Chains A and B, each alone.
Chain A
Amino acid sequence: MTGTLVLAAIAAAGFFVTRATPIDSSALAGHVGDPASGETIFIASGCASCHAAPEAEGDAKLVLAGGQRFESDFGTFVAPNVSPHPEAGLGSWSLAEFASAVQQGVSPDGRHYYPAFPYTSYTRMTDQDVVDLWAYWQTLPADATPSQPHEVGFPFNIRRSVGVWKQIYLEDDWVMASADTPEIERGRYLVEALAHCGECHTPRTALGGLDRSAWLEGAPNPTGRGTIPALTPDELTWGPTEIAYYLETGFTPDFDSAGGHMVAVIENFAQLPASDREAVVAYLKALPQPKP
Chain B
Amino acid sequence: MKKHLAFAIAFAALGCGTSVYAQEDFSAQLKARQGQFRIMAINLGILGGMAQGKIDYDAEAAQAAADSLVGVSMIQQPPMWPEGSDNMSIDGTRAQPTIWEDKVDFLSKWEDLGTAAAGIQAAASGGVEALGPAMGQIGGACKACHDTHRAPES
Residues of A that sit less than 8 Å from B by CB: 221, 225-229, 241, 245, 249-251, 254-260, 263-264, 266-267, 270
Contact = CB atoms under 8 A, between A and B. Distances in A.
Given A257-B142, A259-B143, A259-B147, A249 B154 contact: no
Contacts of B142: 250-251, 257
9 contacts: A221-B152, A225-B151, A226-B151, A226-B154, A229-B153, A245-B48, A250-B139, A257-B146, A259-B147
For chain B, the bracket of interface size reads 20 to 34
Contact of B150 (A221, A229, A259): A259
A238 B45 CA distance: 15
B152 A260 contact: yes
Contacts, number: 62
A226 B152 contact: yes
Given A225-B154, A228-B152, A260-B152, A254 B147 contact: no
Contact of B152 (A225, A255, A267): A225
B122 interface: no
A278 to B, nearest CB: 14
Contact of A255 (B41, B136, B150, B151): B41
A263 B151 contact: no
A227 B153 CA distance: 6
Contacts of A267: 143
Given A249-B135, A251-B139, A259 B152 contact: yes
B32 interface: no
Interface of B: 37, 40-42, 44-45, 48, 52, 135-136, 139, 142-144, 146-147, 150-154
Given A249-B48, A259-B147, A267-B143, 18 more contacts: A229-B153, A249-B136, A249-B139, A250-B139, A250-B142, A250-B143, A251-B142, A254-B45, A255-B44, A255-B45, A255-B48, A256-B37, A258-B146, A259-B146, A259-B151, A260-B147, A263-B144, A270-B136
A52 to B, nearest CB: 13
Nearest to A241: B52
Nearest to B150: A259
Contacts of B154: 225-227
A254 B136 CA distance: 16
Contacts of B152: 221, 225-228, 259-260
A221 B42 CA distance: 29
B144 to A, nearest CB: 7
10 tightest Cβ-Cβ pairs between the two chains A and B: A259-B146, A226-B152, A257-B142, A255-B44, A255-B41, A263-B147, A263-B143, A249-B139, A226-B154, A259-B150
